Structure 1
Amino acid sequence: MLALIFLVLLLLLVQVFLPGHYLTQQVGPQAQMGPRDNLPEPSLQLARARRALGNLQETLPIFLVFAVLAIVLGEQGWVSLAGAMLYLLGRAGHLVCYMAALSPWRSISFTVALGGLVLMALPLLPHIWA
């Protein structure tokens, strides 16, 4: 589980750097390093990268809570690990599909990641009543 947490955080790191990369492409390094007060409207790729990052940030806390609970409660069985892997693959697919404007694959990837979260939650449910 710990390895999957690190891989998801690596994906987050990639997504955090993407908007900066596209902004530098759009306005150049000088404007990127400056105060960024008068930037033009974002390019298509920059806007997509920002939206994809925002979307990841909506579900990442849920993933992290479920992953840490699985470790603490000793629920790192195949269901939890499969859920974490599905989350990682779904989120990586979501980024690729979002950046390439691949519909409906973007939504399908999001649903795969959401299914991974559900799988991660299942082994934790009995602990609510314990």
Structure 2
Amino acid sequence: MLLIIFLVLILLLVQVMLPGRYLTEQVGSEVQIGPRDDLPEPTRELARSQRALANLQETLPVFLTLAILSIVLGEQGWLSLAGGAVYFLARAGHVICYMRGLSPWRSICFLLGVLGALAMAIPLVPHIWS
């Protein structure tokens, strides 16, 4: 599970860097390193990268909580690991689909990520009553 956590965090790092890359491309590095008070409307790529990052940040706390609980509670069986892998692959697919404007694939990737997180939660359910 630890490897999957690291992979998801690397994905987060990549997604955090994307808006900065597109902003620098749009306004130049001198404006980008300044206070950025009067920025122009974002380009399509910049806006998409910002929304994709915000979307990942909405689901990341749930994933990390489930992943850490599975480690702490010793529930790193096949269902937890498969769910974590599905979450990671779906989130990687989600950012690709988001950046390329691929509908309905973006929504399908989002749903697969949610299903991956649910799969991670199933082995944890018995611990609620213990």
Normalised to the residue count of structure 2, the TM-score between the two structures is 0.99
Shift of 1:105: 0.2
Shift of 1:120: 0.2
2:73 matched to which residue of 1? 73
Shift of 1:82: 0.2
How many corresponding residue pairs? Answer: 130
Residue identity matched to 1:84: G
1:62 matched to 2:68: no
Shift of 1:127: 0.2
| Alpha-carbon distance in structure 2 between the residues aligned to 1:113 and 1:38 | 36
2:18 matched to which residue of 1? 18
| Secondary structure in structure 1 of the residue aligned to 2:36 | coil
Tell me the C-alpha RMSD between the 2 structures: 0.3
Identity %: 66
Moved runs in structure 1, 4+ residues, more than 3 A? none
2:99 matched to which residue of 1? 99
Normalised to the residue count of structure 1, the TM-score between the two structures is 0.99
Please list, as runs of the form range in 1=range in 2, the aligned pairs for 1:98-117 lying within 5 A after superposition. 98-117=98-117
| Secondary structure in structure 2 of the residue aligned to 1:41 | coil
Shift of 1:73: 0.2
Shift of 1:7: 0.2
Please list, as runs of the form range in 1=range in 2, the aligned pairs for 1:9-48 lying within 5 A after superposition. 9-48=9-48
| Alpha-carbon distance in structure 2 between the residues aligned to 1:80 and 1:105 | 24
Residue identity matched to 1:107: S
